Chain A
Amino acid sequence: MNLLYHLRIYRREHLALPAGLWMLFALMVAFARMDDGRACEMACTFLGFVLPLMAGILAASAIVDDPVLELQLAAPRAPWRILVERLAVLLGIVALAALAYQVYLGAMGIDLTGLGNPAARQLAWLVPSLALMGLSSLVALALVQGTGGALLVGLLWLLQILARGWFVASPWARYLFLFMRVRYADHPALAANELCLLGLGMLLVIDAGWLLRKTERYL
């Protein structure tokens, strides 16, 4: 029930943006269908790059832009629950977009086996989405400003794409590389990288929830 209301009050762009991007990439794949390599490339771009970026940007405004935050925080419940519930709703939207897209790809006859078996494939969008959502909600709460979180996520995303060669080669940065599965699915450090990013994502969300305890900062 509670989550249903969360969904309703999500400002329009929070639903329009995923839907719009979904449609755009569905069209692009349809046009590129003749060329199997390009179609697959586009599908990976949507799942592994576009969806996580969008999740990160939307997570930044999950809390700090809420017009009713004072009442939300005055309710007799732990403040971190607001954060977790909203991120869960957002993750649900992302998951829906990702899964629907894969069904669509199946119908179009586009092959994604390069990303692993159907279950492992989900990590391609889940891992970077979670990591970026954690980062952006933490930064947004630390700065008490949504744009700060979104901006940082955008910069990091761009940096990782531009310097992907360095990230993969570096003995430590490779564990923080967001796009391992979509770019280097057969890298030996793939499992460690995903585990590391998942753990980090969770840690960032926990930190963000902890920041929210000091409610007066957000009034």
Chain B
Amino acid sequence: MDIQITALSKTYGSGRSAVRALRGVDLTIGEGMFGLLGPNGAGKTTLMRILAGLVNPTSGRVMVAGHDLSTERGKVAVKAMLGYLPQELGLYPELTARQFLDYMAILKGLDDVRTRRARVDRTLEMAGLADVADRRLKGFSGGMKRRVGIAQALLNDPRILIVDEPTAGLDPEERIRFRNLLVDLASDRIVILSTHIVEDICQTCRDMAVLDRGLVRFRGSPADLIARARGVVWQIRTENGHKPDGGLVVVSTLQLANGVRYRVVGRDASAHPGAEPAQPSLEDGYVWLMQAKDALPGGE
């Protein structure tokens, strides 16, 4: 089972106000965790909504497990095997978690009362909501609402799980829990995770892509992206606090007792005598990738 995306483009609006959210994306996504990384406005949500059958592409083709998403029938077939957690999750505040899930299960076509009840109980448990199942959603914290979101996505035991920035706004513990849950789920299904938190991908995905302004900038494993930054990551210590320049991009800054330590990426740090080479991380690889593109002629 896989997802094949060919020459996918999406333009919102037309004329002068047109926004090209996707500009010819080619991707094949197989089973396991797939991470989609990219800055704000890269087109991640657009791509996920297309995969969820909510947005029609302007051109290009998407095949999900052999179903063509451009047909109504294909869309319904794909939606039936899909779990989707939108970036902006709305809930009905007056319903309890259990009622909400029951309602969503009905919409997903779980018509038999007993199977549905069992399924709702199971997902409540998986998402760690069993204790608060009968409380109204309006009293839920942000993290609990996210859990309801993931529980809802799992109701139909989906073959494909699409989660759009699920860890935004979660505390570290909750984020780790969530990531582990996704990894567990990915053992026998496709899980697509979008995020701009590099660490989330690093910890979970074997396969990933970097999307930027509608184009795929990188495709491969996190290790490949890290490898790209080999030899271009440096640590520089300065006492006067002058920011390193000369084509170097600062990844992080650490205030020390006697100066500042910068972590930078750049081809050449010879202008800074104290620069020491450092082991690249995924974040370095990402920053290196993004700055390399900024330096391209034409500024694309």
Which A residues have a C-beta under 8 Å from some C-beta of B?
1-2, 5, 8-9, 66-78, 214-216, 219
List, in ascending order, chain B residues with CB within 8 A of A74's CB: 52-54, 79, 82, 84, 86
List, in ascending order, chain B residues with CB within 8 A of A2's CB: 103, 106-107
B107 CB contact (under 8 Å) in A70, A77, A215: A77
Which B residues have a C-beta under 8 Å from some C-beta of A?
49, 52-56, 72, 76-77, 79-80, 82, 84, 86, 88-92, 94-95, 99, 102-104, 106-109, 152
Chain A residue nearest to B100 (CB atoms) is A68
B103 CB contact (under 8 Å) in A5, A69, A76, A216: A5
Q: Are B52 and A76 in contact (CB under 8 A)?
A: no
In the assembled complex, the Cα of A28 lies from the Cα of B153 at a distance in Å of 51
In the assembled complex, the Cα of A66 lies from the Cα of B103 at a distance in Å of 14
In the assembled complex, the Cα of A72 lies from the Cα of B88 at a distance in Å of 13
A75 CB contact (under 8 Å) in B49, B92, B95, B107: B107
In the assembled complex, the Cα of A71 lies from the Cα of B76 at a distance in Å of 14
List, in ascending order, chain B residues with CB within 8 A of A5's CB: 95, 99, 102-103, 106
List, in ascending order, chain A residues with CB within 8 A of B94's CB: 8-9
Q: 9 nearest interchain CB pairs?
A: A67-B90, A76-B79, A76-B80, A75-B107, A216-B55, A5-B103, A70-B86, A9-B92, A74-B84
Chain B residue nearest to A2 (CB atoms) is B106
> Besides A8-B95, A70-B90, A77-B107, 7 other CB < 8 A contacts?
A69-B90, A70-B86, A72-B107, A74-B82, A77-B109, A215-B53, A219-B49
In the assembled complex, the Cα of A214 lies from the Cα of B12 at a distance in Å of 13
Given contacts A2-B107, A216-B54, contact A68 B92 (CB under 8 A): yes
Given contacts A8-B94, A9-B92, A219-B55, contact A76 B49 (CB under 8 A): no
| 14 chain-A/chain-B pairs, Cβ below 8 angstroms | A5-B95, A5-B103, A8-B94, A8-B95, A9-B92, A67-B91, A68-B91, A69-B90, A70-B88, A71-B86, A71-B107, A74-B86, A76-B82, A77-B76
In the assembled complex, the Cα of A68 lies from the Cα of B56 at a distance in Å of 20
Chain A residue nearest to B80 (CB atoms) is A76
Chain A residue nearest to B87 (CB atoms) is A70
In the assembled complex, the Cα of A77 lies from the Cα of B72 at a distance in Å of 10
Q: What is the CB-to-nearest-CB distance from A113 to chain B, in angstroms, rounded to a whole number? A: 43
Q: Are A76 and B76 in contact (CB under 8 A)?
A: yes
Chain A residue nearest to B78 (CB atoms) is A76
Q: Are B92 and A67 in contact (CB under 8 A)?
A: yes
Q: Are B104 and A71 in contact (CB under 8 A)?
A: yes
Chain A residue nearest to B55 (CB atoms) is A216
In the assembled complex, the Cα of A219 lies from the Cα of B91 at a distance in Å of 14
B54 CB contact (under 8 Å) in A9, A68, A70: A70
Q: Are A71 and B49 in contact (CB under 8 A)?
A: no
In the assembled complex, the Cα of A193 lies from the Cα of B152 at a distance in Å of 47
Q: Are B55 and A76 in contact (CB under 8 A)?
A: no
Chain B residue nearest to A74 (CB atoms) is B84
Q: What is the CB-to-nearest-CB distance from B53 to chain A, in angstroms, rounded to a whole number? A: 7
Q: Are B54 and A76 in contact (CB under 8 A)?
A: no
Chain B residue nearest to A218 (CB atoms) is B54
Chain B residue nearest to A72 (CB atoms) is B107
List, in ascending order, chain B residues with CB within 8 A of A69's CB: 90
Q: Are B90 and A68 in contact (CB under 8 A)?
A: yes
In the assembled complex, the Cα of A68 lies from the Cα of B89 at a distance in Å of 7
List, in ascending order, chain B residues with CB within 8 A of A71's CB: 84, 86, 89-90, 104, 107, 152
Chain A residue nearest to B46 (CB atoms) is A216
List, in ascending order, chain A residues with CB within 8 A of B152's CB: 71
List, in ascending order, chain B residues with CB within 8 A of A70's CB: 54, 86, 88, 90
Given contacts A74-B52, A76-B76, contact A1 B106 (CB under 8 A): yes
Most B CB within 10 A of own CB, among A67, A70, A219: A70
Q: Are A73 and B92 in contact (CB under 8 A)?
A: no
A9 CB contact (under 8 Å) in B76, B95, B108, B109: B95
List, in ascending order, chain B residues with CB within 8 A of A9's CB: 92, 94-95, 103
In the assembled complex, the Cα of A8 lies from the Cα of B99 at a distance in Å of 10
Q: Are A214 and B109 in contact (CB under 8 A)?
A: no
List, in ascending order, chain B residues with CB within 8 A of A67's CB: 90-92
List, in ascending order, chain A residues with CB within 8 A of B72's CB: 78
Q: What is the CB-to-nearest-CB distance from B205 to chain A, in angstroms, rounded to a whole number? A: 23
In the assembled complex, the Cα of A66 lies from the Cα of B107 at a distance in Å of 15
Chain B residue nearest to A69 (CB atoms) is B90
Q: What is the CB-to-nearest-CB distance from B99 to chain A, in angstroms, rounded to a whole number? A: 8
Q: What is the CB-to-nearest-CB distance from A201 to chain B, in angstroms, rounded to a whole number? A: 26
Q: What is the CB-to-nearest-CB distance from A217 to chain B, in angstroms, rounded to a whole number? A: 10
Chain B residue nearest to A219 (CB atoms) is B54
Q: What is the CB-to-nearest-CB distance from B81 to chain A, in angstroms, rounded to a whole number? A: 8
In the assembled complex, the Cα of A77 lies from the Cα of B106 at a distance in Å of 11
